[in-house]
A and B are shown apart, each in its own frame.
Chain A
């Protein structure tokens, strides 16, 4: 079994899906001969040519808007937004068009495209190459939102996304693109959309997280273990639709919940997880729910390592909840 980085797993998924179905196209900026600024589309131009690996003008709205049109005509476009921070010009296309087309047309039209984009910090990208904007998309009915945290899931989830009949925002944690390698099967497999993964089993505290913060959560969990606290880590993988059963099962088991995400803490995705736990499993809770998020500031440059949830901050939350 080959050992791949996360970005190689993405590349493999794209290649396999393009080989499987000639209607699968990729569109974006610098994705052709250049192979993408993160090399996610490396080699695809040579293999599939310029009609299936389409370098576009520098205009995110037309990347998404033209992808919608291609989808209407029977293609399966995978649009790359070079950095999630640059998706705002396409927001009208995503929020007003992509997400609502099936509904507003009474089910007559649909545009199940995949929008891929690297997100999150840790690459010294400052305010405009680092943001975690997932909540904007999870709040738009009609979209599905997926965030993998490891190479195996990245390949399986992206392949599932390409085959899904709904529009998907697929966010890739850029600081995990090359941070580690792990075994990724050569064969065709998918990771089902809407299913969380228990990354580590435990009994004292549940930690719910996704994407870029998962390795940090694992590190904090190790430290908690040394202090005698057993944590169960649930990697949500799909934010919409959320695997609520997995969340409730874990919190009913431990009675304690910490939610970790990198986006600004206030109104972040963890707020919905906290609310759902409070609505559906309050009687199981032994302690208040804790959230660890980014600070409620624009994403910073010099102190980004302090901005992103640190192992210490996560550990403190785990300890606080465990000892309540």
Chain B
């Protein structure tokens, strides 16, 4: 019999091991470096958690509380370990990011033109989404929120399925039941999300516990935003995962804002990753605009999970370049200058310059990738717009395993109302 409860962490003991940081002027160091994204520093806080940083992440101190840095609580050895994907894979990650960007921009256009009802854009988060999802194995389970284009496309969702869902047509495997931007797919191990914040986290813990009990070496990953760390189920899930040491990766995309509310209004904690400490699990910060860094920390966390090392909280620091949704106007709460500054850290430019620096990518590759992505998007939209909506009877299906008498009656009434169709 498997002992699923792990022993608890002694926080006091761990805290006593914190050595004051005082050797690297980290804040200046981070700001002073350009787009050399392959440089990637990991700082270990002895006995508690790993803090992973690469350049640029603290570029906006008003977005992130730099308290942890200025008070010198970052300590430990600088291990500088990364798992770089093979060159061909790096190129694939970049190409996926180009595709996601193209699909995302076109989805916003479709909404503005009234061709879809609603959309949750992901521009700026491509490195966090694609980089982390690329580290997953097909048998791993992904639990997303609604800002997930990069995740679902990286997991293998076709653009036809992607747009079928946005258009809520009869090729939408979720049958047009949710607002757009709630992609799910059993075939791709992406559990269809809801809209409430972080309610998917306990499910990721439950699947992981089930896998652990069955002895299956898989991991689950749960995605959420910075605002989610204030939610009830963030606590519920991390606490449970810590106690039962489940193979779960909690992937927080800290994009600076929960709609209009900055991270400083979510927590007085010195970071989001530090919250892991109290749950007795590992917390990691990563530059979320650095796809290779994101890939690396996620891959390590997933492998640790599959090998019985328990859960990890990853705080991926990024920026939502667009609105919260197509119903939002970020000009009401964000300075233009902020966006302009983050544009210089665009995750696509970051990875492209890295690939160029490694002599893996040239102008022709770029032109080909852009052209290919545009073509994919165009074809998928042209196809999806020809597809009719789901049959009205689907409105009354899938409530229960078998329709109850009242659903049968209501289907009959609807059928009559629609002239027996």
Instruction: Give chain A's interface residues, CB within 8 Å of chain B.
Output: 49-51, 54, 56-57, 59, 61-62, 64-75, 89, 92-93, 96-97, 100-110, 112, 141-142, 144, 164-166, 194, 240-241, 244
Inside 8 A of B3's CB, which chain A residues have their CB? 50
Instruction: Give chain B's interface residues, CB within 8 Å of chain A.
Output: 1-5, 141, 172-175, 177-178, 182, 184-186, 191-192, 194-196, 199-211, 213-214, 220, 232-233, 235-237, 239-240, 243, 397-401, 404-406
- Given A59-B240, A61-B232, A97-B194; A109-B214 close (CB under 8 Å): no
| Contact yes or no, A96 B194, CB < 8 A | yes
Work out how many contacts link A and B, with CB atoms closer than 8 A. 154
| Contact yes or no, B240 A67, CB < 8 A | no
| Contact yes or no, A240 B240, CB < 8 A | no
Looking at the assembled complex, report how far the CB atom of B141 sits from the nearest CB atom of chain A, in whole angstroms.
8
Looking at the assembled complex, report how far the CB atom of B37 sits from the nearest CB atom of chain A, in whole angstroms.
35
| Contact yes or no, A59 B207, CB < 8 A | no
In the docked arrangement, what's the CA distance between A49 and B204, Å?
A: 24
| Contact yes or no, B191 A109, CB < 8 A | yes
- Given A105-B184, A106-B173, A108-B173; A166-B239 close (CB under 8 Å): no
In the docked arrangement, what's the CA distance between A62 and B204, Å?
A: 11
Inside 8 A of B4's CB, which chain A residues have their CB? 50-51, 54
| Contact yes or no, B210 A61, CB < 8 A | no
Inside 8 A of B173's CB, which chain A residues have their CB? 106, 108
Most buried by B among A64, A73, A74, A93: A73
Inside 8 A of A144's CB, which chain B residues have their CB? 400
- Given A49-B1, A96-B199, A109-B192; A104-B177 close (CB under 8 Å): yes
Inside 8 A of A240's CB, which chain B residues have their CB? 404
| Contact yes or no, A57 B398, CB < 8 A | no
Inside 8 A of A59's CB, which chain B residues have their CB? 235-236, 239-240
Most buried by B among A50, A62, A93: A62
| Contact yes or no, B405 A244, CB < 8 A | yes
In the docked arrangement, what's the CA distance between A259 and B398, Å?
A: 31
| Contact yes or no, B202 A66, CB < 8 A | yes
19 sampled A-B residue pairs with Cβ under 8 A: A51-B1, A54-B4, A57-B243, A59-B239, A61-B232, A68-B202, A72-B203, A72-B206, A75-B213, A97-B196, A97-B200, A103-B398, A104-B178, A106-B174, A109-B184, A112-B401, A142-B400, A144-B400, A164-B401
Name B237's closest neighbour in chain A (CB-CB). Answer: A62
In the docked arrangement, what's the CA distance between A56 and B237, Å?
A: 12
Inside 8 A of B203's CB, which chain A residues have their CB? 65-66, 68-69, 72, 97
- Given A66-B205, A69-B206, A97-B199; A51-B213 close (CB under 8 Å): yes
| Contact yes or no, B210 A105, CB < 8 A | no
In the docked arrangement, what's the CA distance between A75 and B405, Å?
A: 28
| Contact yes or no, A70 B199, CB < 8 A | no
| Contact yes or no, A106 B172, CB < 8 A | yes
From the candidates B186, B201, B240, name the one contacting A109 in the complex (CB within 8 A). B186
From the candidates B1, B174, B209, name the one contacting A66 in the complex (CB within 8 A). B209
| Contact yes or no, B206 A70, CB < 8 A | yes
| Contact yes or no, A108 B240, CB < 8 A | no
Inside 8 A of A142's CB, which chain B residues have their CB? 399-400
- Given A51-B1, A89-B232, A109-B184; A69-B194 close (CB under 8 Å): no
In the docked arrangement, what's the CA distance between A71 and B209, Å?
A: 11
In the docked arrangement, what's the CA distance between A68 and B226, Å?
A: 24
In the docked arrangement, what's the CA distance between A65 and B205, Å?
A: 8
- Given A72-B191, A104-B177, A106-B174; A62-B399 close (CB under 8 Å): no
| Contact yes or no, B398 A68, CB < 8 A | no
Name B195's closest neighbour in chain A (CB-CB). Answer: A96
Name B186's closest neighbour in chain A (CB-CB). Answer: A108
